[in-house]
Amino acid sequence: MVSIGVWINAFLTLCILSFLYKDNPFFRFAESLFAGMSLGYYIGLANQQTLMPNLFMPLFRDFSGSVVLLIPMALGILLYFRYIPRIAWMARLALAVYIGYYIGVMFLQKLHGEVLPQSRDTILQLRGIAGIDVLWNAVFIAGVISVLLYFYFSAEHKGVLGKVSRVGIWFLMISFGASFGYTIMARISLLMGRFSFLVNDWIRPLMGAS
C-alpha cells in the first residue's frame, strides 16, 4: 500500500523532472507550489527558531535582564521604515549597522583563518625529502604564486607578469576541471537518490514487490 504522501512526493518529483523536456503546466504548478510553500515555511521557521527563542521569550521572561535585545529589535523594525516615504532613509541605518558589523567580523576571520594558514602552508620544504615530493612542493608553490599574480590588478599583464599570470590561469582551469568533475559526481548521487525513491518507494510497492 503506497501512502498518499508518497504519491504526492512522486507526482511533484515527476513534475519538476518534466522541465528537462520543456516548460509545461505541470512544472509551473510544482514550481509555484514549491516557492509558495517554502516561503510560508521559512516565515514560520524564522518566527519559531529566531524571533521567539532569541527575542520574544527572553523579553517576556526577564525584560530588565534582556533589555539589550531591544537594540536589534529596533534595527529590525527600522528596515520597515522604507515603506513610509518621509522617513524611508532610516531603513539604511539598520543596513549600515548590519553590513559594518559583518565586514569587521569577516575581515579578521578571513585573515586569521585563511590568509595566515594558507601563506604558512605554502612555505614548503624543497630539500631533504623524496624527489617526487620536491617536485609536488615546487608545483604547489608555483601554483600559489602565479595565481596570486594573476589577481594583481595594479599592473597590465604584459611581459614577465603576463607570462606568470598565464601560468596562473592554467592552474585555475585545472583546479576548476577537478572541482567540476567532483561536484558533478555529487549531483549524480542526488539524482540517484530521487530515482531510488521513485523506484523503491513508489513503483515497486505499487507493483506488489516488497
Partner 1 sequence: MKTPLLFILAAAAVVLASQAPAPAVLAGEIQGLRAFDSPGDGGESVTLEWEGGPSTLVSIMRSESSGGPFEEVGTTIGTDGAYEDYVEEGRPYYYRLSYRIGDQDYVTAPVGPVAARSNWFRSYRLNALVLAVLMFSLVIYYINAAKRGKDLYIRRISGISAIDEAVGRATEMGKKIIYIPGIMSISDIQTIASLSILSHVAKQTAVYGADIEVPNKDPLTFTAARETVKQAYMEAGRPDQFREDMVTYITYDQFAYAAAVSGKMVRERPATNFLIGYFFAESLILAETGQSTGAIQIAGTAAPTQLPFFVTTCDYTLMGEELYAASAYLSKEPILLGSIKAQDIAKALIIVTILVGIVAYFFGSTVIRNLLASR
Query: Which residues make Cβ contacts (< 8 Å) with residue 205, sequence separation at least 6?
Result: 1, 2, 6
Residue type, 196: S
In this structure, which amino acid lies at residue 174? I
- C-beta of 123 vs 207, nearer to partner 1: 123
User: What counts of helices (H) and strands (E) characterise the chain?
Assistant: 9, 0
- The answer to whether residue 185 forms part of the interface with partner 1 (CB under 8 A) is no
Is 51 an interacting residue with respect to partner 1 (CB under 8 A)?
A: no
Which are the contacts of 87, defined by CB distance < 8 A and separation ≥ 6? 81
Instruction: Work out whether 38 is an interface residue with partner 1 (CB under 8 A).
Output: yes
Residues 75-114 touching partner 1, rule: CB under 8 A, are 79, 82, 91-92, 95, 98-99, 101-103, 106-108, 111-113
State the minimum distance, in angstroms, from the CB of residue 55 to partner 1: 16
Residue 15: how many other CB atoms lie within 10 Å:
19
Is there a contact between 189 and 1 (Cβ–Cβ < 8 Å)? no
- Residues of this chain that interact with partner 1 (CB under 8 A) are 16, 19, 22-23, 27-28, 30-32, 34-39, 41-42, 79, 82, 91-92, 95, 98-99, 101-103, 106-108, 111-113, 115-117, 119-120, 122-127, 141, 144-145, 148-149, 151-157, 172-173, 175-177, 179-180, 183, 187
